[in-house]
Amino acid sequence: MKPISTAILLLFMLLHAPALLSAEPNATRPQQLPPSTHPALDFTLLNGAPFEHWYSFFIDGKKVGFEHNRLSMSEGLLTLNSEVSFDFGEKGIQHYIAHVVARAAVWPEIVSVRFEAQDSLIADEAPAEKYGKKVWAVVASFDDAGKKKTERQSFPLPADLMHDYLAHHIALFMPREKGACLHYTCLAAGENMGPAAIHCTGSESIEINGVKTAVTAYDKYMSGQKATTRWIDARGVIVRNDYGGNTTISVLSTRDEALKDLSPKIKPPRKF
C-alpha cells in the first residue's frame, strides 16, 4: 500500500468505522442500506452564528482526549474545521485535523479538503480535470524514514461524493423525522470510496453528563453496515458521537472540561 494511503486510512480505522470501505466508486448500493428518502438539506440553519462545540473523547469508558468542531457558512460556502487528539496507549498520541470547504447548494459540493495527521502528513484534496474528465485529486506531503516526500493521486469523481468528515455533520441539516435517509458516495481517505447513507432512527432519551436529554438519533451506514451514530438535541447540537461499537465515543462538554486531565503529551488545540 502506498504511504499516503497507509497514513490516512489509519485515521479512518481509528475513528470512523469498524470496517473499511471496499466498494468501487461506481458500485451498486448494497441492499443493506436503508431506503433513500431524498431529504432536503437546510443549510439556512448556519446563517447566524457558527456551530462550534467541544467534546470529551473516550475509549472503553476512559477519557483519553478531546474533539473540537467548528462549522460555519459565508457567501454560500460551508466550512468545517475539525480536530481530534487522544492518547491511544501503546500506539501513542493520535492527532488529526481536517479542513473541509463545500458549496452549500442542494448538494454540498466539495471545493477543497486539507487533512493533517500526526504532524507528519498534510494532504490537500480537491476536484480537478484530467483528460477532460472530472477527477478527485490528492497531493500529499509526508515523512518517510526522516525524508520529506510528495505523492499525487487522482481518480474518478462521483457526482454524489461527500467527504467523511463533512458527512459526520450533515445530519444537522436533515429533517428531524424518523426514516429520513440520505444516500451518497463517501470518501473516507485517498481513493477509499463506497456507498453510504445517513438514516434517522427517531427520538430517544439519553444521558449526557448526568442529565436525561431528548435527542434524535442518526446512524451512518457505509458498505451496508452501520458504522457510527450521532445524537442531536432540541437545540440542533450534536451531544454524543459513537464511532463504532459504543467503545469509542465523544460527549459534548465545555472547552475547559474537554481539555482537563489529559496526557501532557497531547498538544494544545489548534485555533480555528
* Strands 51-59 and 62-74, bridge-based pairing: antiparallel
> What pLDDT does residue 163 have?
87
- How far is 100 from 167, CA to CA, in rounded Å? 11
In this prediction the pTM is 0.86
> What pLDDT does residue 191 have?
56
Q: Give the side-chain half-sphere CA count within 13 A for 7.
A: 20
Q: Is the pLDDT of residue 193 over 90?
A: no
> What pLDDT does residue 200 have?
98
**Mean pLDDT over the full length of the chain:** 86
- How far is 146 from 162, CA to CA, in rounded Å? 33
Q: What is the pLDDT of residues 139-183, one digit of tens each?
A: 999 888 788 899 998 988 888 989 888 999 999 999 999 999 999
Q: Is the pLDDT of residue 217 over 90?
A: yes
Q: What is the pLDDT of residues 148-159, one digit of tens each?
A: 899 998 988 888
Q: What is the pLDDT of residues 107-148, one digit of tens each?
A: 899 999 999 998 789 999 999 999 989 999 999 998 887 888
> What pLDDT does residue 129 have?
93
- How far is 18 from 15, CA to CA, in rounded Å? 9
DSSP E strand stretches across 157-191 = 161-163, 181-189
